[in-house]
Structure 1
Amino acid sequence: MIIISALGLDFIAGDPANRYHPTAWMGRLIARTATYVKTGRARSERAGGVVIVVVSCGAVLGALSAVYLALNLLLDGLVALVASAAVTAVLLKTTISVRGLEAHARNIVVAIQDDDIATARSRLSMIVKRDTGSLDREHVISGAIESVSENTVDGVTGPLFYFGVLGLPGAFVYRVVNTADSMVGYRTSMFANLGWFAANCDRVLNYAPARITGLVMVLASAMLGMNWRGAYRIMMRDAGKPDSPNAGYPMAAAAGALGVRLEKIGHYSIGDDTVGLSTDGILQAVRLMKITSIIFCGAVTVPLMALLAYLVAGVHV
């Protein structure tokens, strides 16, 4: 019920304003810690990269502990149980962003349909790391589909996977690492040393969720009447093309399901151009992301929780 409630809240309400959003709070904490390191107050930037992740994770876990300690002190019995479940559902919701991804994607679609390529590029730049200033219409569409598919892991299935394995602390630690990677984990001279730890932690944490999500996308594409055989074939063929060892799995599965070729100029080309890129492809990618999220909850997160409960019960027996 917690998982269903969290996903339902996200589908209906979307993300809260930044001043109320834990992920935004994480971002501010990471930014301040990074500034502290960059001003030379740490022994080295590489050591500072470890500090950023450890301090941020520690602060988040401490805050979660304080919330549940307060609930246990103020309430008891069934009331405490219900309140704890409700708080967990709300907090889990803040680690996922189905509605947010959809909103970004639809904003890009509107700009393209209005023939406002400049606005489309600007809106795309909010969800990708590449330079969008000179992209043509097809590459803007490609970037949007890539972002929706890749961020299905970062913004939905990754947190749900670690919630299934480690509960709410797992989901929040995943979000801290993922947020740190998005902020300082770039391969640039400025963050080459500072972001190494966040980038490598993110790479390790995403290894399993990315591959499982790719497979779930194949199943979701079959349920939606898309090309599920193509999704599996392209995922197996092209998942290793991007520099990231993980991002290629959901992107390649989406490319195969939609029958499109996705390209980051100068870096990779994924999929076969059998349908052609259009704004409808972005909307189809959003549909695929939504169904993948629902299936992932039922086929991955819940079984993981059940298995963990069984193992814990066995230890106590």
Structure 2
Amino acid sequence: MSDGTPRDLHPAAPGEPLRLSLLRLGTRLAVLRRHADLVIGGVLLMAVVVLAVAGPSLIDADPRALSPGRRLLPPSAQHWFGTDQLGRDLFARVLHGARVSLLVGVAVAALSSLLGAAVGMLSASDRRLDAVVMRVMDGVMSIPAILLAIALMAVTGGSVLNVIIAVTIVEVPRVARLIRGIVLTLREQPYVEAAISVGTTWPRIVVRHLLPGIVAPLIVQATFVWATAMLLEAGLSFIGAGTPPTTPSWGNIMADGRALWQIRPTLIFFPAVFLSVTLLAVNMLGDGLRDLLDPTQKRDP
């Protein structure tokens, strides 16, 4: 007689759970290997963000505090990256500079993506308007980005907000041209032509048919704009046209140390390494997102 206890009609063979676990692990490793750029870039970027957000609160050092008696100290347990020519803790300044660069990069990527997408879609909606808007965008793009940014900063003055505005103006045309091209391609699709033929309004077509098609490339482009914005901010600050000298940013730190780099190369080395690693992380993240969101553009191994 049955005692009512449920029985497994197909008991697992010995070693079956181990084989299933190994299979799942192999599948996950294959996914990670397929999207290695995305994983590595995300991990590096997360590490920089954590250092920028939590780092200054973990060390007892003011990035702006002057200490003439501790000038040009080498790296030590008390000052991990040493001190600069004014006795300021270099590690604290580099971490604070990460905040500035990340703020500028994220803000410019968000603003230029929104404005560029709006300009690109507006331009693609009307042929006569397209001829005017795109010529203006071509004119802006014909000026080297760094020169245009310097000119804008000369007019507005040095501050983090003005850097964000200037670099956003530089990057909007590039995003606008990308979105315009995508929208013009999408307008030729049968489902969009069918929507137009039945009298669907343009705003409804944009929301239902065009926006879903531009989201993925816009996200990928935003990551590259993010990296470009951080590089431009560092360049502007290095030549004295970006953030104020009193603001610890990677560009300002390298500018302060260029006169003493032969004596203390670490004054430039550490902020340069942080900037390079952050740019590498953002670019790898962009490449990984491109492969993930658009498999047809996946690069050959």
TM-score normalised over the length of structure 1: 0.27
Q: Which protein shows a greater Rg?
A: 2
**Larger relative contact order (C-alpha < 8 A, sep ≥ 6)?**
2
TM-score normalised over the length of structure 2: 0.28
